[in-house]
Structures are given as structure tokens and as C-alpha cells.
């Protein structure tokens, strides 16, 4: 079957590294921040037509609407019928802040004081639903929830819907905000979070990830339509891969075998070979087991002469279900600027890891070409995306 090409024509980012594309890009190329990676200056009222709608939205939904609003403004005037515009969004958890707050209300004030808006505020699909209603998009509207791989899976699925002709434009990405007392305690008690308060991807002393919150949205459009209307095209989605480790609820498969198969699936879907990949934005969470497994997987695919690797989580921290979308935006900006941001926080090479070409200390110039973005989630969910430059 003929596959239609899929362009990325709009980007929007809400992150602790910066909100908006310019600030986000500058943040990716800055030193790793100190302390927690919460977004302190986010104002949801800037992105809602009605303040009441903002108040009736969980923080994760607010951030999703914000990044989608930015991406759609960036995409320019769409000429597609709204019935052919879909929303495929993602999250790892949903409205945890609201859920915690309302449990306390129930406990302290009784059942009758629980908000009638609680259920729509905690639903994982709330952000995607809100985006479609705000703009009147009537195409496919679905939510992917596969832990830390969720928004990578959402973008891959959205691209397939366009390539197969089920939609012409899809707004896709992810959102997450679970830096609540219970959310942080849960991750801390499972020893996933950094005890040193630092994100150090692939570093000898890495000891866990720094949790963050945020959202990123990509506007995907069928290529011929995007070219015809003169859209600003950041790049093309060439392929994607998705599979499962089927190994453990939190730990990756030994040797990164599942991750390696996922990368191979994405490369094959793009019609490429491993030697064609010129850059990899790694999942690179800064946990001992994940980084070891991913480094082994990357080495097994590309060998000792592989492409430059970076983990932008050194700056952003780990956005869980939003991470893949935030990193997809980073890859596309790397293509635009012909520059690969360094792996912030990385100081010492781990002698037990295979010799991958990790970008450290400063950004590296490159000639843009096919680039991979990896996401691997709790439950053994693996996702990889391949982006291409129109000039490559």
C-alpha cells in the first residue's frame, strides 16, 4: 500500500528547560539546573479562553492545552477540514494532583464536598479531549498510556494514521504532571529518583532520575498538503517502532535486547539501515539499569563507529509520559539548528558501559540526517521514532 509522507509543521513545548521554542532550545544548551525540575512560572490562564475552564482542568491537562496552543499557532493556518484533523495525545498517569486533592477533601469534609468535576479532571484522556473541543477537531481522538514511552507511541501512531489516509492532520504529543506528594513519594520509595538530586545520564555515578513535569505537541500534516500551503516544515517522520520486553514491570530486559529490537523495527519501518542514522536522542534517564541496557542496545545496533548520542534529560529531567514528545521536539530543533545539545550532568565516563559516542561538555555541529528518538517505559514498553530532514 502507498504510504503518504508525514511532515512536522508545528511545535510547542512547556518544560523546565524553557517554555516556547526559543527558550527551550536555549535551555537544552545550558548547564544542568540545580534542584527540582518543577515549572514554577507556568500560567495556564494564558492558554484558555475562559478562566473557569482552566480552573476545571488538572495541571497535566493545562500543560497539554498550552503546548498544543503553541504548536497550532506555530503551524499557521490549516486548510484541512476539521473532520480530517485528529488528536492523538499521551500521558503516563493522568490527573494525579486532582485525585490527591479530592481524596483529602473526601477524608476531611465528606463525600458531598468532592468536586463534580473530579472525574473529567483525572481522566488520562482529558488533555486530548480538551484540545479537540477547543479547536473543533473531529477526526480520531485517542489517548495512549504506556508509561514513559507514551508520547513516542502516540506520535508514531499518529503518523501511521496520516500515512494510511485515516487523517490529514493530527495534533500529537504528551503531557505529565505528577510532582505531587504521593507521586514523588512513590517514585522515591521505589528508588527510581536520584538521591543526589542530579540527573547524570550514562555517568559513572548516576543514581536515578530527576522527575519533571511538562508537555510537548507536534502538529503532523500530510506532506503534499503542507508543501502546498507553504507550511514551515521542521522535518519528516520516516518511521517508528514499538514492542515489549515482556520481562519485568520496571527493569529493562538484560542487555537491552527489547530496546535493540525496537530500534531495528523503527529503522526498517523507515526503509533505512543502521548506517543511515546520524544521531540518537537516547531515553537516557540516569538510572543505573536503564542507561546500561540502552547503551548496550545502541552498541549492538551501531557498533563502535555509531552516531552521536545525547540525553536531553540531563537538563529537562524525566517527564514520564511527556518525555518522548519533549525529546522529539529536541530532535527537530537539533535538525533546524544543525546542532546536537550536550548530555548535561555527565561528568565521568562509566567504564562498564560500551563505547558509544556520547555528546558531552558542549554542543556538537552535525549535518542533519535521519535521527532517532528512544523511549522505554515501565511495563517493558519500547518506542522509537525516526525523523528526517527534508535536505537529507
Q: Is the dihedral of CA 132, 137, 142, 147 positive or negative?
A: negative
Catalytic residue among 148, 262, 346, 381: 148
Lateral strand order in the sheet of 6-14: 141-144, 85-90, 169-176, 214-222, 6-14, 235-244, 381-388, 371-377, 279-281, 309-310
Catalytic residue among 97, 153, 279, 318: 318
Query: Cα–Cα distances in Å, from 48 out to 75, 87, 121, 127?
Result: 19, 18, 15, 13
| 283 carries an active-site annotation | yes
Query: Cα–Cα distances in Å, from 29 out to 2, 22, 76, 209?
Result: 39, 11, 27, 19
| 148 carries an active-site annotation | yes
| 247 carries an active-site annotation | no
Tell me the β-bridge partners of 280. Answer: 309, 372
Query: Cα–Cα distances in Å, from 59 out to 3, 40, 115, 150, 248?
Result: 37, 12, 16, 18, 30
Catalytic residue among 97, 153, 279, 283: 283
Residue 375 CA to residue 363 CA, distance in Å, equals 22
Q: Would you please indicate which residues are annotated as catalytic (active-site) residues?
A: 148, 283, 318
Amino acid at each position: 500500500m502507498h504510504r503518504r509522507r508525514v511532515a512536522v509543521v508545528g511545535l510547542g513545548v512547556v518544560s523546565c528547560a524553557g517554555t516556547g521554542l526559543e527558550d527551550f532550545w536555549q535551555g537544552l544548551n545550558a548547564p544542568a539546573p540545580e534542584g527540582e525540575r518543577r515549572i514554577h512560572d507556568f500560567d495556564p490562564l494564558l492558554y484558555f479562553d475562559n478562566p473557569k475552564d482552566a480552573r476545571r482542568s488538572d495541571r497535566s491537562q493545562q500543560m497539554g492545552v498550552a503546548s498544543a496552543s503553541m504548536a497550532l499557532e506555530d503551524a499557521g493556518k490549516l486548510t484541512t477540514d476539521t473532520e480530517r484533523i485528529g488528536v492523538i495525545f499521551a500521558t503516563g498517569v493522568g490527573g494525579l494532583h486532582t485525585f490527591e486533592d479530592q481524596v483529602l477533601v473526601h477524608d476531611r469534609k465528606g463525600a458531598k464536598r468532592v468536586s463534580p468535576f473530579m472525574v473529567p479532571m483525572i481522566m488520562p484522556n482529558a488533555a486530548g479531549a480538551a484540545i479537540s473541543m477547543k479547536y473543533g477537531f473531529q477526526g480520531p481522538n485517542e489517548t495512549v498510556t504506556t508509561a514513559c514511552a507514551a508520547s513516542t507511541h502516540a506520535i508514531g501512531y499518529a503518523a501511521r494514521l496520516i500515512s494510511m489516509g485515516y487523517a490529514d492532520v493530527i495534533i500529537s504529543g504528551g503531557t505529565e504532571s505528577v510532582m505531587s506528594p504521593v507521586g514523588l513519594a512513590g517514585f522515591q520509595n521505589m528508588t527510581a529518583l536520584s538521591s543526589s538530586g542530579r540527573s547524570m545520564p550514562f555517568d559513572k555515578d548516576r543514581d536515578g532520575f530527576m522527575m519533571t513535569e511538562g508537555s510537548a505537541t507536534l502538529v503532523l500534516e500530510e506532506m503534499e498538503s503542507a508543501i502546498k500551503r507553504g507550511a514551515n516544515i521542521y522535518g519528516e517522520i520516516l518511521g517508528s517502532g514499538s514492542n515489549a520486553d515482556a520481562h519485568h514491570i520496571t527493569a529493562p530486559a538484560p542487555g537491552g535486547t527489547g530496546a535493540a529490537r525496537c530500534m531495528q523495527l523503527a529503522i526498517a519501518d523507515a526503509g533505512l539501515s543502521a548506517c543511515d542514522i546520524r544521531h540518537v536522542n537516547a531515553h537516557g534517564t540516569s538510572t543505573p539499569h536503564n542507561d546500561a541496557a540502552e547503551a548496550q542496545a545502541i552498541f549492538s545496533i551501531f557498533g563502535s563507529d555509531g552516531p552521536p548520542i545525547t540525553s536531553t534529560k540531563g537538563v529537562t529531567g524525566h517527564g514520564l509520559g511527556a518525555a518522548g514528545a519533549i525529546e522529539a521536539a529536541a530532535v527537530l530543533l537539533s535538525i533546524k539548528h544543525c546542532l546536537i545539545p550536550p548530555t548535561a550532568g555527565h561528568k565521568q565516563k562509566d567504564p562498564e558501559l560500551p563505547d558509544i559516542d556520547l555528546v558531552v561538555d558542549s554542543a556538537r555541529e552535525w549535518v542533519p540526517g535521519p535521527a532517532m528518538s528512544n523511549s522505554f517505559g515501565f511495563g517493558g514498553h519500547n518506542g522509537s521514532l525516526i525523523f528526517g530532514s527534508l535536505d537529507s
